Amino acid sequence: MIKGTFFCIDAHTCGNPVRLVTSGHPSLNGATMSEKRQDFLTHYDWIRTALMFEPRGHDMMSGAFIYPACNPNSDASFLFIETSGCLPMCGHGTIGAVTAAIEAGLLTPKTPGKLTLDVPAGQIQVEYQLTQNKVDWVKIHNVACYLAHRNAVIDIPGLGLLTVDIAYGGNFYCIIEPQGNFPGLRNWTANDILHWSPIVREAASSLKCIHPDDPTVRGVSHVLWTGSTLNEDSDGANAVFYGDKAIDRSPCGTGTSARLAQLYAKGQLAVGDTYTHESIIGSQFIGKIEEETQVGQHPAIVPSIQGWARVTGHNSIIIDDDDPYAHGFQV
Ligand code: PYC
């Protein structure tokens, strides 16, 4: 029996996949996207695993559902899905979902070229440029971001000690700069990153990370390795590990936001500074520190992230109970 049919617009943001699900998603309980995220995870997570895992998805797959606005001044809401769960915020997901939704006429902004969106991590502002029904770029003014732990030392079995920072950019990131036991991301293979990242994330889980305004947003979920750049006009490069086996092909919107918050807190960037951040494949986002703010006791920033996305296809996905892999699988 067919359990669900989901119409999807598939896209990629600077190389990383975004599956925008435009129909078939359940109505969710809750007044905020954070509450709706909890309801989805409790009752409908099979939809996420079916759409993200093999055989309909793959390790890097991520996406979003569009929901009506939660706040009267918002245009719409996004719920982000990926292989690891439902992220509080996803930067490349927002850039891809906004591009696909605007080009398909699914979002009607109150002000052309601007959107206010509710996401589980809070409310974000988005700007975009549309030329002949193509979105050239999308710029996100993200939720407030901050450095949660500075120069923490973690012991990685088989590797040794690493000095790391933990920063919040919409998700909590463990950020590792080149040092004795890490020669920089360009001196490691992708397999090295895939091998060490889950071990580092596990070790970093001993560092308490709970968002002061929303205790459901907690724990280090991503690992951001830094190193030298491929492009002369980039200010920094990263490889962001997420889920169980994924390295972000885009420069990672929440990862770039976390990196900006870290560099700001350490006095290496100031309000108004821009930072061109490069992914493992060399694609770029332009980050900027827009303003200073506060999150709980933490000095914080509002960063913006600008990038581009392209639609790759339209996809009607069926989930049939007769299929032994109806809810997907992971190897
Ligand atoms: O762009 O924020 C992002 C993101 C999170 C996980 C993968 N990409």
In a domain, 302, yes or no: no
Shared domain for 177 and 249, answered yes or no, is yes
User: How many Å lie between the centroid of ligand 1 and the Cα of residue 234?
Assistant: 19
Q: pLDDT band for position 322 (50/70/90)?
A: very high
Shared domain for 127 and 170, answered yes or no, is no
Shared domain for 227 and 263, answered yes or no, is yes
242 lines ligand 1 (CB under 6 A): yes
Shared domain for 135 and 152, answered yes or no, is no
DSSP codes, 276-319: EEE-TTS-EEEEEEEEEEEETTEEEEEEEEEE-EEEEEEEEEEE
Domain span holding position 230: 145-296
> Would you say 99 and 138 are in contact if contact means Cβ atoms under 8 Å apart?
yes
CA-nearest of 189, 143, 194 to 169 is 143
Atom number, ligand 1, closest to the C-alpha of residue 242: 6
Annotated catalytic residue: which of 90, 145, 174, 209?
A: 90
What pLDDT, in 10s, does the model give residues 27-56? 999 999 999 999 999 999 999 999 999 999
User: How many Å lie between the centroid of ligand 1 and the Cα of residue 241?
Assistant: 9
Shared domain for 94 and 39, answered yes or no, is yes
303 lines ligand 1 (CB under 6 A): no
Shared domain for 273 and 163, answered yes or no, is yes
Q: Catalytic annotation on 145?
A: no
pTM greater than 0.90 (yes/no)? yes
CATH number at residue 262: 3.10.310.10
In a domain, 301, yes or no: no
Nearest residue (by CA) to ligand 1, atom 5, is 90
User: How many Å lie between the centroid of ligand 1 and the Cα of residue 185?
Assistant: 18
Shared domain for 171 and 99, answered yes or no, is no
Looking only at the bridges linking them, the beta strands covering 134-141 and 16-21 are unpaired
Domain count, the chain: 2
Shared domain for 67 and 202, answered yes or no, is no
Shared domain for 172 and 283, answered yes or no, is yes
Shared domain for 153 and 279, answered yes or no, is yes
Shared domain for 157 and 291, answered yes or no, is yes
Strand-pairing partners, residue 311, are 11
What pLDDT, in 10s, does the model give residues 89-147? 999 999 999 999 999 999 989 999 999 999 999 999 999 999 999 999 999 999 999 99
